[in-house]
Amino acid sequence: MKIPPSELPLQPNGAIYHIGIHPENLADKVILVGDPGRVPKISEMFDSVEYTNSHRELVTHTGYYKNKRLSVLSTGMGTDNIDIVMTELDALVNVNLQKMEAKLDHKSLSLVRIGTCGAIQEDIPVGSYIASKFGFGFDGLLQFYQHNSQDYEELVKHFVDFTGWGERLPYPYCYPANKTLLDTIAFDMVQGITASAPGFFGPQGRAVRAPLAFPFLNEKIEAFNFNNHRITNLEMECSAIYGLGNLLGHKTLTVCLAIANRVTHHFMKDYSKEMEQLITKVLDRI
């Protein structure tokens, strides 16, 4: 069945619409970062760079690191951007863009997000590396797709009951990291449930001037525990990467540097050294 151009638009040169690249420009192993400025900092560590592209906040560099072909792609912030990036990455490898038809043979990408986050447990200090064993979505994105997270419905229901989750909030969802990527890349990192919020301030319990509808939600998130699984950190992208990755058949992992601790109120103003070390770990292990 042909995919109408209104549903999967392309640029005039045939490149995928938002990311702005062609299938041959994408490696099978992709590092995702939120900040476009982080892309060249990572590709500077490559032995060689074969391709660069920039379209809006989506910057792509592809090259080689220790004989491994890698792409680095910035997503911008938020699960809404992840919806675009994950769908278009999948289309680049699993849709014939000339015929606009899904390919019969499925290709699975390895997608590793490197980002920053806020720890929500007192015993996780700033500067810690946190790997997301599960992505827990507060954002509601996956509810627009036919998805099945049945294996984790008990965890989700326990969370909803424990926190008194507001009925006007999007119903949460939960998906796991790829076990091979988790074991290979994050074996020496803090591991736990990462909650992805649809914003930085109110949705993560930050009150500046606007009052919060659920001012004690973070305390309940911190106290939540289900079968020894606890929520370790808050950020804004992981749940959509895991959810869409599972839905589309790609291997996904998120690793973050904790630059804030929401319980102790500590914050790292300069984390460049720690981020460089995390990037090097991922490049060496992916």
User: What are 5-20's pLDDT values in tens digits?
Assistant: 999 999 999 999 999 9
pLDDT of residue 177: 98
Among 63, 87, 58, 83, which Cα is nearest to 73's?
A: 58
Is the per-residue pLDDT at 30 higher than 90?
A: yes
Query: Mean pLDDT, the chain, as a whole number?
Result: 96
Domain boundaries of the chain, sorted by first residue: 1-107, 115-286
The model's confidence at residue 112, banded by pLDDT at 50, 70 and 90, is very high
Sequential DSSP letters for 20-57: ---GGG--SEEEEES-TTHHHHHHTTSSEEEEEEEETT
Handedness of CA 205, 211, 213, 215 (dihedral sign): positive
The model's confidence at residue 150, banded by pLDDT at 50, 70 and 90, is confident
d(CA 43, CA 274): 17
Section 135-163 average pLDDT: 93
Under 8 Å between Cβ of 113 and 244: no
Are 1-107 and 115-286 in the same CATH fold? yes
pLDDT of residue 149: 77
Q: What are phi and psi of 53, to 5 degrees?
A: -155, 150
The model's confidence at residue 151, banded by pLDDT at 50, 70 and 90, is confident
- Could you tell me what percent of the chain has a pLDDT over 70? 100
- State pLDDT tens for residues 237-273: 999 999 999 999 999 999 999 999 999 999 999 999 9
C-alpha count within 13 angstroms, C-beta hemisphere, residue 192: 27
pLDDT of residue 47: 97
d(CA 258, CA 274): 10
Look at domain 1-107 and name its CATH class: alpha beta
Q: Which residues contact 152 (CB under 8 A, 6 or more apart)?
A: 134, 173, 174, 175, 176
Section 94-113 average pLDDT: 97
The model's confidence at residue 1, banded by pLDDT at 50, 70 and 90, is confident
Label residue 61 exposed, middle or buried (CB < 10 Å: 0-12, 13-18, 19+). buried
Section 60-83 average pLDDT: 97
> Could you tell me which CATH number the domain at 115-286 has?
3.40.50.1580
Is the per-residue pLDDT at 154 higher than 90?
A: yes
- State pLDDT tens for residues 37-51: 999 999 999 999 999
- State pLDDT tens for residues 224-241: 999 999 999 999 999 999
Interhelix angle 79-94/238-248, nearest 10 degrees: 30
pLDDT of residue 78: 96
Under 8 Å between Cβ of 218 and 112: no
- State pLDDT tens for residues 179-204: 999 999 999 999 999 999 999 999 99
H helix intervals, 46-200: 79-94, 153-163, 179-185
The per-type count for the chain, helices as H runs and strands as E runs, is 7, 14
Is the per-residue pLDDT at 176 higher than 80?
A: yes
pLDDT of residue 99: 95
The model's confidence at residue 96, banded by pLDDT at 50, 70 and 90, is very high
Radius of gyration of the chain (CA): 19
Sequential DSSP letters for 188-231: TSEEEEEEE-S-SSGGGT--SSSPPSSTTHHHHHHH-EETTEEE
